[in-house]
Structure 1
């Protein structure tokens, strides 16, 4: 789920963009805008920044392991090709 503080910030920015004469109505609408944003964003398949960062770290470690295994395999193949053939 998205950070509620971010949603409040977005709703406030929208509310602040409203001309001063309409601001009183906008204050009442801010809560509604937040509700609508929350409802629409919850329909999207989004991940939190924390989840994204965790998966990025997992991917980095996986790449490192893959590169190490590829290097090891290349060394073993080279060693095997250097052996005399029967």
Structure 2
């Protein structure tokens, strides 16, 4: 273990302060270090590297969402202004609403329960 590890440093400092209380400061240091590691593990902390990576992903995602929100607002403004997209085709909704009822009456059942389309 390196001395740059904060948990190791803290455990070492506690062990040094408890030297007078016991003949085995190394054992106390190991026990304290083990307890601290267990406590930190239960906190489910992430490393700084993982945090930085997630922040980068979040910033890119936020930027993309803002871009998409602007595109949606522009499209809504175009539709409200009467402009239609130049796709050359009607939307499915427009086609559905204006479609004639080709199958009107097809498959109806007579009062006797027989299919009248036979």
TM-score by length of 1: 0.71
Could you say which structure has the higher helix fraction?
Answer: 1
Structure 1's consecutive aligned runs of 4 or more residues displaced over 4 angstroms after TM superposition are 23-26
Give the distance between the partners of 2:15 and 2:52, measured in 1 at CA.
31
Residue ranges of structure 2 left out of the alignment (5+ in a row): 84-118
The structure with higher relative contact order (CA 8 Å, sep 6+) is 1
1:25 CA displacement: 4.8
Count residues in correspondence. Answer: 79
1:6 CA displacement: 2.1
Residue ranges of structure 1 left out of the alignment (5+ in a row): none
Instruction: Quote the RMSD (CA, aligned, Å).
Output: 2.6
Answer with 1 or 2: which has the greater Rg: 2
1:24 CA displacement: 6.8
TM-score by length of 2: 0.54
